[in-house]
Chains A and B, each alone.
Chain A
Amino acid sequence: GAVVSQHPSWVICKSGTSVKIECRSLDFQATTMFWYRQFPKQSLMLMATSNEGSKATYEQGVEKDKFLINHASLTLSTLTVTSAHPEDSSFYICSASGPRFSGTFGSGTRLTVV
């Protein structure tokens, strides 16, 4: 149990376009989802926390208008990188928590903006 599916695993987009990343809990209800960002050979930095049905809480320094998070259901959260630029290129990874499971990670998305 406690499987989190994240798609796409790899995406290349042109500068100025938007990209949506999906995170789904497959076999449990994820009341809370967390979005992290990781640069090569560095640690994971929490970007935001989203609770189902409410607005996301962003960490200090994270632009909420650039990184739009939606958590409309108990099984799906999305991260949209708007007007992406090369500096947004990174590895994005979600994790989900629910009444029975916590800290289960998706497989991550490698975003490259060209």
Chain B
Amino acid sequence: AQTVTQSQPEMSVQEAETVTLSCTYDTSESDYYLFWYKQPPSRQMILVIRQEAYKQQNATENRFSVNFQKAAKSFSLKISDSQLGDAAMYFCAYNTGGTSYGKLTFGQGTILTVHP
């Protein structure tokens, strides 16, 4: 079974600084998808970024970028120029794609606090 591990229960960052959230996963599949979701206090799940395992290039979405290390099964999220609105719980997630696309295995989550 696939597992996703986020080893940082809480992280904090100063506004305008950069922070990196860690995620590791375990799978025997060669093709899969990895995601970072943001869950603010409203609890709405918001997709931050997606990475397809067969793509070597790291995904980037504005201030959010990932460092995808397939061999090491590592998938970290870097938030640059942190803003107060980035404060939320962040979840790393995995799925195998195909007919299971949308069926996600989540990590434990990391609570991110942004200090003004």
Contact surface of A with B, Cβ cutoff 8 Å: 32, 34, 38, 41-46, 49, 91, 93, 95-97, 102-103, 105, 107-108, 110
CB–CB A43/B91 < 8 A: yes
Task: Select which of A45, A97, A108 is within 8 A of B43 by beta carbon.
Answer: A108
Q: Which residues in A have their C-beta under 8 angstroms from that of B104?
A: 34, 44, 46, 95, 103
Q: Which residues in A have their C-beta under 8 angstroms from that of B89?
A: 41
Q: Which B35-57 residues sit within 8 Å CB-CB of chain A?
A: 35, 42-45, 47
> How far apart are the CA atoms of A103 and B42 in the complex, in Å?
18
A110 — nearest CB in chain B belongs to which residue?
A: B43
> Can you name 26 A-B residue pairings with CB atoms under 8 Å?
A32-B99, A32-B102, A32-B103, A34-B104, A38-B43, A41-B111, A43-B91, A43-B107, A44-B45, A44-B104, A44-B106, A45-B106, A46-B105, A93-B45, A95-B45, A95-B102, A95-B104, A96-B102, A97-B101, A102-B102, A103-B95, A107-B43, A108-B43, A108-B44, A108-B45, A110-B43
Q: Which residues in A have their C-beta under 8 angstroms from that of B35?
A: 103
Contact surface of B with A, Cβ cutoff 8 Å: 35, 42-45, 47, 89, 91, 95, 99, 101-109, 111
Task: Select which of A34, A38, A41, A110 is within 8 A of B102 by beta carbon.
Answer: A34
> How far apart are the CA atoms of A108 and B109 in the complex, in Å?
17
Report the minimum CB–CB distance from A70 to chain B (whole Å).
18
Report the minimum CB–CB distance from A44 to chain B (whole Å).
5
B99 — nearest CB in chain A belongs to which residue?
A: A32
Report the minimum CB–CB distance from B69 to chain A (whole Å).
22
CB–CB A49/B44 < 8 A: no
Q: Which residues in B have their C-beta under 8 angstroms from that of A102?
A: 101-102
> How far apart are the CA atoms of A96 and B44 in the complex, in Å?
14
Known: A91-B43, A93-B45, A108-B43. Is A103-B102 also a contact (CB below 8 A)?
Answer: yes
CB–CB A46/B43 < 8 A: no
> How far apart are the CA atoms of A34 and B102 in the complex, in Å?
8
CB–CB A43/B103 < 8 A: no
CB–CB B108/A43 < 8 A: yes
CB–CB B109/A43 < 8 A: yes
